[in-house]
Structure 1
Amino acid sequence: MTQPHDSHSLRFESPVALVTGGSAGLGTAIAQALLNRNYHVLIVGRDSERLRLTADRLTSEEDRTDSSAVRLHQYACDVTNLDEVAKLAEFVSDRFGRLDVLVNVVGQSDRGLASEITLKRIDELVRLNVHSTVICTKALLPLIRENRGSVVNIGSLASKIPARYLGGYCLAKHALCGWTDQLSLEMRQHNVHVGLVCPGPIARQDAGHRYDKLLADDLPPEAAAPGGGAKIKGLPPQKVADAVVDCIAKRKREVILPGKARLLIILRAIFPDWGDRILLRMTSGN
């Protein structure tokens, strides 16, 4: 893919953050939050045109007319492709000479029954939710280690507690959570912060309809709603983005949103049967 090299390699003194999935949704909100805190931000996505439109939307008119002031950068890349991510790592090293923060946002939810999941669908979800994070982190970790920086992975409440009708999403996010936990232990000796942010459903305009096409006949219509029909209010993307920035600034190990969900996680760990009863009442269906 052709990449936008807007200048020759520079030495960046201010911190640099890379956000995967930065061309839309939560990734864009996180990019904006980091820009507000004076980071140079590189947004990464597969579609170069979407990246350009997002960059135009987030960059002020003043910045667009002053190339030295531009702090938002873009790079088109499939983060599940080893070769493309290797080129991304080279670009970051050549263009910025440093990387302080990596936020792995790329992922995909699902709808369906755990008992009906296919191996093909599991492969798809693990590729998008886990492989993307592992590939990017491994490629960019040498730069992160040089600056004793941060890696923040976007998990989900589904990586901590199950919800009905989420198909293979819980499986994939639990895998991501486990890998993040182990990486955090390994990176402590290198003074690299590894954090996990686990938000509940995020409010969006197409909430309740985004997964209509995934609904099988044996699922209630409410399963298409955020969280698979869980009775929980959608989180504003900006609130989640601010939590990610706070996780980076305070080098937090884990953030659960909404915070009160942590009580349910603890309860279910101690009293699994009680926890399951609560979860069943919180989700739609019979």
Structure 2
Amino acid sequence: MKTVLITGAASGLGWALSQQAFALGYRVILADMNEVLLEARVEALAARDAERVTSRGLDVTNSDAITLLVPWLEKHGGLDLLINNAGITHRSLAEKTAMSVFQKVMAVDWQAPVELSVACLPLLKKSRGGIINIGSMAGWMPVLGRAGYCSAKSALGQFFEVMRGEVSRYGIHILMAYPSFLDTPIEKNALGHDGKPAAHARSMVGNMRTPEWMAEQVFDAYGKGRKRLFPDRFTWFASVLWRVAPDLYQRLMLRKFASELEQ
């Protein structure tokens, strides 16, 4: 039986990924810093098969917690798949945003998955396992009011594209998933310029997808050995437009996300 560790597993896409992994027969380790909700999620899965689910309270930005996690994983049967799902975003203009907000977004969205993946590499080498990173289409193209988030997700993609080439010789497969707009708490909990919850509604393009839909797409792509997943063709086209006609893309984005400039 293969074991998967999922960060940010108690809500949103993380919970959908946990349920999908469980349905596919994985032994699922749910990791989240919300231990109350985490316990409820574990109980829900344990009612179906208690031997295939466990949890770990985890702040992914805590280096000491990550260091302690690895021997715990070894003790509990190793690791076949790591899903770096935990994330945070902000909605605020760059000039108005406190540096602490940028630092927090970078810590959760880039530093944490990098640190956790590197720490887990010995286990993944042993199992010839894999890593799934939940990126964002915002990492492929600029979006007003998301300077920190775009930067973190762009850095995430670049890091793991390099790592892919370095670890493929060990049989480790890396999938980068690039969703666009999902109906999850990440946007509901977005930070404002001062680190408090953002007060204005998000702007968006394309369709709002469910986390369950995305979770199915992710595991299907991983099972097929794909390296990158662009599930939303509309936003994929927008990212291509950014590369081939960046000035046109900027004009269209300024029009679509004009309300962000008023915040």
Distance 1:51 1:157 in 2: 28
Cα displacement (A) at 1:244:
1.6
Q: Could you say which residue in structure 1 is the equivalent of 2:9?
A: 22
Cα displacement (A) at 1:114:
2.2
1:176 equivalenced with 2:150 (yes/no): no
Secondary structure of 1:80 counterpart: coil
Q: Could you say which residue in structure 1 is the equivalent of 2:192?
A: 214
Specify which of 142, 149, 152 is matched with residue 162 of structure 1. 142
Aligned length: 257
Cα displacement (A) at 1:167:
4.3
Q: Could you say which residue in structure 1 is the equivalent of 2:52?
A: 71
Tell me which amino acid in the other structure corresponds to 2:224: K
Q: Could you say which residue in structure 2 is the equivalent of 1:44?
A: 31
Q: Which runs of 5+ in 2 are unaligned?
A: none
Specify which of 211, 215, 222 is matched with residue 237 of structure 1. 211
- Call closer, same or farther: CA 1:30–1:137 in 2, change over 3 Å: same
Cα displacement (A) at 1:181:
1.3
Q: Could you say which residue in structure 2 is the equivalent of 1:224?
A: 201
Tell me which amino acid in the other structure corresponds to 2:212: Q
Cα displacement (A) at 1:40:
0.4
Q: Which structure: greater helix fraction?
A: 2
Greater CA drift, 238-247 or 152-161: 238-247
Tell me which amino acid in the other structure corresponds to 2:210: P
Q: Could you say which residue in structure 1 is the equivalent of 2:80?
A: 100
1:120 equivalenced with 2:77 (yes/no): no
Structure 1 contact 203–235 (Cα < 8 Å) conserved: yes
Greater CA drift, 163-172 or 143-152: 163-172
Specify which of 113, 117, 131 is matched with residue 133 of structure 1. 113
Tell me which amino acid in the other structure corresponds to 1:201: F
Structure 2 contact 206–234 (Cα < 8 Å) conserved: no
Q: Deviations over 1:9-42 (max 9, x none)?
A: xxxxx11101011111111100100111000010
Distance 1:165 1:47 in 2: 27
Of structures 1 and 2, the larger Rg is shown by 1
Equivalent residues in 2 for 1:198-213, closer than 5 Å: 198-204=178-184, 210-211=189-190
Structure 2 contact 32–58 (Cα < 8 Å) conserved: yes
Tell me which amino acid in the other structure corresponds to 1:224: A
Cα displacement (A) at 1:209:
5.5
**CA-atom RMSD in angstroms:** 2.2
Secondary structure of 2:176 counterpart: strand
Specify which of 232, 247, 253 is matched with residue 273 of structure 1. 247
Secondary structure of 1:130 counterpart: helix
Structure 1 contact 148–192 (Cα < 8 Å) conserved: yes
Cα displacement (A) at 1:281:
3.2
Structure 2 contact 89–186 (Cα < 8 Å) conserved: no
Distance 2:141 2:223 in 1: 27
Secondary structure of 2:239 counterpart: helix
Tell me which amino acid in the other structure corresponds to 1:142: P
1:282 equivalenced with 2:238 (yes/no): no
Specify which of 142, 154, 160 is matched with residue 122 of structure 2. 142
- Call closer, same or farther: CA 1:208–1:18 in 2, change over 3 Å: closer
Structure 2 contact 6–83 (Cα < 8 Å) conserved: yes
Q: Which runs of 5+ in 1 are unaligned?
A: 1-13, 65-69
1:87 equivalenced with 2:68 (yes/no): yes
